[in-house]
Chain A
């Protein structure tokens, strides 16, 4: 599965990519902001993990932008955040985010989240 990892922090991207590798996902594409993510997003991306608070384009805006693309209508989107504020999560879900995960997390929890999102998407399809 090809995963697009979006975070303005290069360190966070490394952490995510490392974690993903440890749970068996080694095909990752990185993007440093929402704009780059939209640029890099194509039909080959099967999963998107994005930070919430990024300069220029927030994770929520990114989700909206991806949902507007023909290839992005149904791609699973997982949002990474440090706090689960109700308004933010509601906004995120409305923008098309499938689920979110709170920092910090272990690779195992990340795996559970990804599995949950994938099974949810499969169930909805």
Chain B
């Protein structure tokens, strides 16, 4: 039951003294009540309205707001009384969540409550089922991503959103079983999202089983819809009780198995994830195959050779067309209104142009097969030379990427693989001693996630050696001490320029090329690289790349009178800080706290010398950018909206401008500058914000 009631609220209001603490108490009470499904919808709505007004109340009018709120409490009490009198009206209220009602699973009601409510809107249900299946496919693909990178916030959000949307919509359709199951699955994922638990081991397994169960429920609903029975899927109650209280069922980050409805003969305790992950992969490939121009349906088509220069020119021209078109559609004359017919024609043209853009991009997309095969050969050769036994597994080599990027991906991949084979995979005898199979595995996988391509290289070797990295980093003066550094922060050090250990120069990896080169290459492709490692279990390099360099997904931000484009791939989130979250640390400058993370605050307008920008962070906006231990909050005035832009160089005349990767023509015809976030953060770290005017960059020609 809810910890708060109308009586609590009334009591708090009487005692209200307009202090911040009292204000927060009431805020919390209102919030809990607005979300309390045990309350009638009308009362919840009243509380929700009151909550919005309460938040918006300025500090000096809180007394007044409290008086208003008392009126609301009276009205809400009236509604509650009414409900008690008119018990008949109860069925018009949404059923309280079964989870709140009692701990008993609704097994007893199974025969009583039909799967499908009697007055269902059939076409709506059909749409819902199709859409939910698609969401599940995305969720499963993201689960594979989590297997490689359990901290991938975007993947977690994708899975969360699938459960969340299914839950929200099924509530409208009165699909109670589905609603309840999705509700609990969402709750588990929200704990992952809030970093309370990690989606690994038993939780990952549970999430996959939850996808399976929701799919079975959708199938059953479809069956009921087509008159083929009205039965709950096998194992619903068992899995529901697990998803409701995972820990009570023995689920942990290490393991614990969710019950399955069918037996799998090949299953081994640690083989489950792998198997499911492969299934998930197949699912993501299926969804990829539906897109025009993607790998699977190519063999059936006839093809024609086109010179790449011509293709590049075509794509460039289409990019121009998109911009020219958007300049027309944003013309003030059209915006004035009144030109309905013209507007309609412009919208039509806009649609065609967008399709043309998608199509032209698809023409230049090629599968990652070539670099993957290069890696396969390399692993075999390196293994043979070093006397290690290595199995190479490639997954998702059909994943497509701009052909202009494929060539540049080869080098970093080779370095990463060398690193894995040289330093990751142990010799057979060492593996045997560690209780591992003598044959090590290097797994290269690729998949699409949130409009990006993710390439992951994973080995099951010895993992990174924290002590060794710390020692080398201190020798090279990269750090003074490793005290207080997390493992992740230590691992990131291997990407530092000049970090190459003597051990790294082996016969096999040759000249001891540093991982900093890999990072630079990836960043040149406007991508990000992360590293994860568990001692004794292996290391994973996770590379996230945009689909293409020709078009950048960007967020247009305003800083004073200037506008900049920040590539979406660099933005984790944006928020407006509270005053309490801001602090200044001696010698480290301004810091901001987001949840439990403290990160430096960088004022973009200072680095770029922009006048008239907002100085007060609580009035402006912070964008969290950067990777790993370099996450930084960037101060901007406001976000103007997300858009795709065609990236261009600033012209050879300017040479390389620090922290700017290029320019793009914006909708109003002006040039917007695209930020190079990594360089920007480097600039910010070096603290040279004063000499922005006369930096001796290679200036003209």
A interface residues (Cβ-Cβ under 8 A, vs B): 8-12, 14-15, 18, 34-35, 38, 42-44, 53-57, 61, 64-65, 68, 71, 82-86, 89-91, 93-94, 98-106, 109, 112-113, 116
Contacts and interface: CB of A to CB of B under 8 A. Distances in A.
Contact of A82 (B157, B168, B451): B168
A68 B164 CA distance: 29
B640 interface: yes
B280 interface: no
B42 A109 contact: yes
Contacts of B293: none
12 contacts: A9-B131, A11-B124, A12-B172, A53-B165, A55-B450, A84-B48, A86-B27, A89-B52, A89-B55, A101-B48, A103-B168, A116-B49
Contacts of A11: 124, 127-128, 131, 169
Interface in B309-357: 335-337
Interface string B372-400: 00000000000000000000000000000
Nearest to A58: B573
Contacts of A83: 35
A95 B591 CA distance: 23
A104 B168 contact: yes
A35 to B, nearest CB: 5
B574 interface: yes
A48 B339 CA distance: 22
Contacts of A93: 52, 55-56
B31 A55 contact: no
A12 B168 contact: yes
A9 B31 contact: no
A56 B554 CA distance: 11
B42 to A, nearest CB: 7
Nearest to B125: A11
Contact of B638 (A55, A68, A85, A100): A68
Contacts of B687: none
B642 A102 contact: no
A44 B49 CA distance: 27
A121 B335 CA distance: 23
B574 A89 contact: no
A68 B640 contact: yes
B526 interface: no
Contact of A99 (B49, B160, B164): B49
Given A14-B127, A15-B172, A89 B31 contact: yes
Contacts of A43: 335-337
Contacts of B171: 82, 103-104
Contacts of B48: 84, 99-102
B31 A85 contact: yes
Contacts of A65: 639-642
B161 interface: yes
Interface in B180-224: none
Contact of B172 (A38, A64, A104, A112): A104
Given A38-B642, A89-B31, 9 more contacts: A9-B131, A15-B124, A53-B164, A71-B335, A84-B34, A91-B576, A102-B45, A113-B49, A116-B49
A125 to B, nearest CB: 16
Contact of B35 (A90, A94, A102, A106): A102
B64 to A, nearest CB: 15
A117 to B, nearest CB: 9
Given A84-B48, A89-B52, A55 B161 contact: yes
What 8 pairs across the A-B complex have the smallest Cβ distances?
A: A104-B171, A65-B641, A86-B31, A11-B128, A84-B34, A103-B168, A84-B35, A82-B168
B409 to A, nearest CB: 25
B127 A94 contact: no
B169 A42 contact: no
Contacts of B168: 9, 12, 82, 103-104
A113 B51 CA distance: 13
B448 interface: no
B452 to A, nearest CB: 12
A106 B41 contact: yes
Contacts of A53: 160-161, 164-165
Contacts of A100: 48, 52
B35 A91 contact: no
Interface string B46-89: 00110110011000000000000000000000000000000000
A103 B172 contact: yes
A63 B169 CA distance: 22
B169 A12 contact: yes
B542 to A, nearest CB: 20
B158 interface: yes
Given A42-B335, A42-B337, A106-B41, A82 B49 contact: no
B519 interface: no
Nearest to B53: A120
A16 to B, nearest CB: 9
Nearest to B127: A11
A82 B44 CA distance: 12
A35 B225 CA distance: 35
B244 interface: no
A102 B44 contact: yes
Contacts of A90: 55
Nearest to A86: B31
Contact of B41 (A14, A84, A109): A109
A55 B42 contact: no
A83 B186 CA distance: 11
Contacts of B575: 91
Contacts of B458: none
B28 interface: yes
A10 B172 contact: no
B501 interface: no
B555 to A, nearest CB: 9
A45 to B, nearest CB: 11
B643 interface: yes
A85 B121 CA distance: 31
Contacts of A71: 335
Nearest to A33: B642
B165 A12 contact: yes
A53 B169 CA distance: 13
Nearest to A16: B172
Contacts of A9: 131, 165, 168-169
Interface in B421-475: 450-451
Interface string B585-603: 0000000000000000000
A71 B332 CA distance: 12
Contacts of A14: 124, 127
Contacts of A42: 335, 337
B235 interface: no
B642 A56 contact: yes
B592 to A, nearest CB: 15
Interface string B637-655: 0111111000000000000
